[in-house]
Structure 1
Amino acid sequence: MASLLQIEDELIGYMRQYAMELQHKVNTMRTFQEEWMTRRALGPADPTSYVANPLISFPLMRRTYTDVPKLLELAREEFKPGPFQKFIDYDLSSISDVELETAVTGMLRFQGVYGMDESEMANGKLHGKQYNSRMSAADCLAVATHLENVDKGKLACKWFKVAIDQYEEKLDPVNRLLQTGRSQIYEKLGLTLLAMHDLPASQAAFRDSIGWASKEDNTDLAKHLKDKLAHMFVHVDNCRGKNLLPSKSYLRCRYLRDGSPFLRMAPVKLEQLNIEPFVGLFHDAISPAEQKDLLHLTDSRLEHRKKDSSSVEAKVDTNASDHVRRIHQRIEDITGFDLEESEPLTVSNYGIGGQDFIHLDCEQPKEFIGYYPKEYRSASAMFYLSDVQMGGYASFPDLGFGFKPRRGSALVWHNTDNSGNCDTRSLQATCPVLLGNQWVAKKWISGSGQWRRKSCRK
């Protein structure tokens, strides 16, 4: 730890020299600004009258042709290689995340052993003794984030709230750089409460985050949070059965006969729920024997899903049985996609309270590399292997509807548009199971290998 103190002392020295050079440039700029504003205020407000006076127009011309180029040159001028270069090239290889994790873990350990209050700790009080020290909002946020990462959400929420209490207005520029402003703290608090399934508290935290984002002129974050909050409200209404399936004149229930020779002989019942993006419910899409086989194949291999102890799942290989091979062929027939490079079927069971919260199955690549990667999911198919007594609705928050699925049906939706972009309207969720349990089989259809079947990128 002593070496870290030495590093900080050296950086303070470099920052001081760097700041002095920056301040010199700022002072020069400010002097120019004040001088020009003073001259402008002395003349008439009307531009024509202003330039009519040669004692005013000549200095204006001189400033424009002589001062401005030098001022722009100063603005573009790089700093001297001394302190600035030492500062930006400082070697931080001796510092590792392990040391930070160890420090946080140790602090939380003695908090638990000695039963100390997090607010008192943040204000310098350890085991009844007051010290001349104080944790900043960024310090408390780091502790809370660590706790959230190790699935200790309840204690993390306490530290998030302490971070808000420790916030200092004078450090606004620092917090903007570190992204540790009040809006970001409330957002992380809301996400943690959401992971703990405390919907009312998470909504309140998101509202606070929106309020502070607006005050901080962080319009992008404010819009993002408003959309997230709106989706949460719609999702809750979907789960409560308030938003029924859309009844629009252009939506049809029909037999699907196109796409494969098999469908011409044995068409399937399609209830189209949305056109763009496509959302369709196929009735009687999986037989009781196929359902039973999937449950039998995964019976001894089910594992708990991460961060959700009320749900278990297991993957089923394509060649696990004749039934599974037929299911894969049926998915190709009804979707028109090639499944060769897609992930295996995943059989999941949602117990009491089990859910899939609002999410996208697609993730937009940072750049297009000429083909769809295997993990890029163009579409999703979900087979329902059981009925649920209460709860377990399928929800599409952005499209504004939800419904209670029936055993034997298959829900198919597209995650990308014809340009290959992730379609954010395809947000979907599974509502918590209230009574009974829900069995489903999911197939995520990769965008890779679809060039013969899906329209080209535009």
Structure 2
Amino acid sequence: FRTLCCVSMRDRMICDPHSQLFSAFTRKLLQIPLDRLSLIFPTLRNKMRVLLLSLLLPLVGADLFTAIADMTKMLGSEADVASEIDRYIASEQSRLERLKKFAAEYSTRNAEAADVGPEFVTNPINAYLLIKRLTSEWGEVEKIMKQNEAPLFIQNITQRRIENEIKFPKEEDLSGAATALLRLQDTYKLDTHDLANGKILGDKVGEPMNAHDCFEVGRSAYNNKDYYHTLMWMQEAIIKLEQEEPASVEEAEILEYLAYSLYQQGNVLRALSLTKRLVEISPNHPRAKGNVKWYEDMLDGKEGEGEIPEVVNKRTDNDGIPERDAYEALCRGETEPADPAELKTLYCYLKCDRPFLKLAPIKVEILRHDPLAVLFKDIISEHEIAIVKDLATPRLRRATVQNSVTGELETASYRISKSAWLKEEEHPVIARINKRIDMMTNLEQSTSEELQVANYGLGGHYDPHYDFARRSREEIRLQYGDTGNRMATVLFYMSQPERGGATVFNTLGTAVFPTKLDALFWYNLKRSGEGDLRTRHAACPVLLGVKWVSNKWIHEKGQEFRRPCGLSEDAHERFVGDLAENV
């Protein structure tokens, strides 16, 4: 079909199934009756719509869990599915009623024939009717049995998804959602039992899970070789299973995962005990008996000695984040009490150091002096936020990170969000925001990067990282051209999550929780041009609510007179735009 489009439309863009033109063209074709389609494209057959649907399916792929904006589109899809299922059930009930009628007639006639005996078929009328029932009538029965309309109803749902641009989740989304749940559980110290009952930090926020729901979370952890969480959720699945009738999952399935996770945690004796229980309830289980022998060999005859050890479930040391415990504590708002002497030096002021700002001063709150970090208050309007989100939403793509070895951009589990880039010339609002950033920071914007807009997904986060490139000058030149390194960051908060989503600076012990309409600003480089390692920061997982941000990375080039080097290596600003040379 792609070849057909290229030939018929004579347009290279149509050949690209990811282009908006291709998508719009194909959706338009879906609305054309098949008889008219055959006039437009004589080579097309009756399978045209199915073909179109299958070609468009790549456009509605996975990665839904990485942005709430995509997930909100799914809300109405459940109603559509329920409606189609109801229609399908009604259709099937009608079909089955007809089959029941035939079955009842067959039973009645067969009973009558049985009463008469073999002489029944000696009657020519009876013989004729018997043959008729097993030929033409059976043909009708066969036809009814084959009239299952499931493919049509499935096609209707799929077509509606495409026409309404509703994406359906895939296995990757299920795995990502489970991993997000576990991340939130760790970061915010959420109790497994509470989560399984729809509670977060004591508040009822959702529906309770059943045993199978808990089992799936545990299995997702198991597939990632995360036996710590596998144990938690498989144990919860067992608790739920005891309360269910009928069971949503087989006990045998849970026990196998639970036993192996216990073994991985060093509790071989308890793993053996559970596996023996598995053999009892499922004697034909393909692996259970072999696992019993394996555990027994491992214990070398000591399985009968002493009591079975209690479950000791130990979390891995740092999950690849050296400062994990400090980072998670900051995300929970557990900061060290501020030094009273330092608190006295923090203040708010009106920034009026540019002619325009005499008429419209900017409200600034100093959060920290060395290195300087400030919050610009009420710096972006609701209207501007709406425009930015409208421009960005259709372009949101999974956010990437730079591979520290290859330098290539790639997706990573430690950054869960979707982002889009907006150019200044695309809309007056974007141009206005760029000019405002100049006023806010006193830094040249011609060499800064485009405005990046990000929407965080389920448990969306970005693990501790630096904004500046920790590479040689030559490597930085290859990466950014002649604009230099990322000198500073401006981060606009375009929404305010109900809980979580803080921006935290691990080394400095600073946590900034998003306040809508405000913007956080900090310098990534010292005035000497060296990277400031104290600016290592992270975006905490969003626990409840939605997080939209936009940011500007401001580069070195053009700042020679706007932020000159100080007279000492440790020179730093007291406030935004401070040009003192020896502070």
TM-score by length of 2: 0.39
TM-score by length of 1: 0.49
